[in-house]
Amino acid sequence: MSTCQPDLMRALHDQHAAAVWAYALRLTGGDRSRAQDVVQETLLRAWRHPEVLDAGRGSPRAWLFTTARHIVIDEWRARSIRPEVLTDELPEVPAPDGVDEAMQSWLIAEALDRLTPEHRMVLVECFYRGHSILEAAARLGVPPGTVKSRTHYALRSLRLALQEMGVTP
């Protein structure tokens, strides 16, 4: 992409921006913000196509006006395809669908399957069934200290399994 020198763009702006602004303001039905955007885009396109400034081609004003008109037409066409809907009501807040929770449960279940049976059983007893260390020890038939150490190592193994699956716990 070839570009104009800054002095040429400044001269183009000084000579034609006011006229293009007035024209764009009429094209946009008096919408000053849209007209400003049209002028800015028109001058940007002129900067990208410095050949329009060639003295042998005459005044670039006709090219600028045509480009501004095309920009407004393109905007109109885009809005007619995807019209903007204005409302004074806020959009509805989406209801939780449970997908995130289901995915999380599925990932944890898969990671639990990668653990040894002893580690898996201690996590199920302590975290899923909500048993205390003493209750888990009685249900598993092991001393409470073993439940504590297995829980520690099981959580480390679970974290590692999740990381291997690409999940950051």
Average pLDDT score over the chain:
87
Asked: is 110-164 a CATH 1.10.10.10 domain? The reply is: yes
Handedness of CA 142, 147, 150, 151 (dihedral sign): positive
Q: What is the DSSP letter of 50?
A: G
- Its pTM stands at 0.46
Residues 49-67 have a mean pLDDT of 82
The Cα–Cα gap between 165 and 15 comes to 63
Do 12 and 46 meet the contact criterion of CB atoms below 8 Å apart?
yes
Structure tokens of 137?
A: 């020890």
Query: CATH for 6-81?
Result: 1.10.1740
Domain limits of the chain? 6-81, 110-164
The Cα–Cα gap between 66 and 71 comes to 9
Do 4 and 47 meet the contact criterion of CB atoms below 8 Å apart?
yes
**Tell me: the pLDDT tens digits for 11-43?**
888 888 899 999 999 999 899 999 999 999 998
